[in-house]
Amino acid sequence: MSKLISVHELDKKKYKALGLGDEWVPYIGQPETKLRMIVWGDSGQGKTTFVIQLCMELTKIGKVYYNSAEEGEGSSLQNNMRRNDVAGKCKAGAFMIGDRDSFEKMVSRLAQPRHRIKFVVIDSLQYLKLTEDQYKYLIETFPSLGIIMISWADSSGNPKGQHARAIRYMVDIKTYVKKGLATTDSRFGSTIPYRVMEWDEVEKPAPAKLLKASTEQIELAL
């Protein structure tokens, strides 16, 4: 049940920091233990890689449950995990994958004490069709759970869809990834852009067009 507190009571309160390593603080700040974050961008820009790299750091704090609702358990996700050497750098059992878990299945996993899940990644918000009410249900039911949501981007570079745009305003950390660069707006301190991966700005040359011989050229050749 909610209650009123005075400004003086609030001033005396101490909130526990998440405990991110120093190398990550410049990029997303130092959040509270209840991490709330949305990451969005177009396909192939590096948003999944960014989240995986962040989750590798988070496994030092607690277990990560990555709900791959969109890709599922497949070679694409496997290759991304291998490129980042997740299996080599994270201890066994610290980074778990959900194979296209529904919202109900995800909640069931989170509710089981034996899993001891500290962070959940939803990939993607659109594919799972997560609504504002479902998001509020998660933070109210699991108040100490860290939640990271991956979202598609619309043509204007914002999270795609009504629910994603609304959730963007409800979280503490908002990260836009474009051309391998993650730019974050965080309530927990000023941030600098994070280079997710190298990006080749040089456009590949267009494939050579086949030249069609004219009728006259063909006749001459004969």
Look at residue 121 and tell me if it is in a domain: yes
The count of domains in the chain is 1
Look at residue 23 and tell me if it is in a domain: no
Q: What is the pTM of this model?
A: 0.84
pLDDT for res 211:
46
Look at residue 24 and tell me if it is in a domain: no
> Structural domain of residue 62, as residue ranges?
32-198
Look at residue 93 and tell me if it is in a domain: yes
Rounded to the nearest 10 degrees, what angle do helices 132-141 and 162-170 cross at? 40
In tens, the pLDDT along 10-23 reads: 777 776 778 788 88
Look at residue 82 and tell me if it is in a domain: yes
- Number of Cβ within 10 Å of residue 97's Cβ equals 18
For 4-48, list the strands marked E by DSSP.
36-40
In tens, the pLDDT along 188-204 reads: 887 899 999 988 754 44
pLDDT for res 1:
55
Look at residue 126 and tell me if it is in a domain: yes
What is the identity of the amino acid at 215? T
Look at residue 220 and tell me if it is in a domain: no
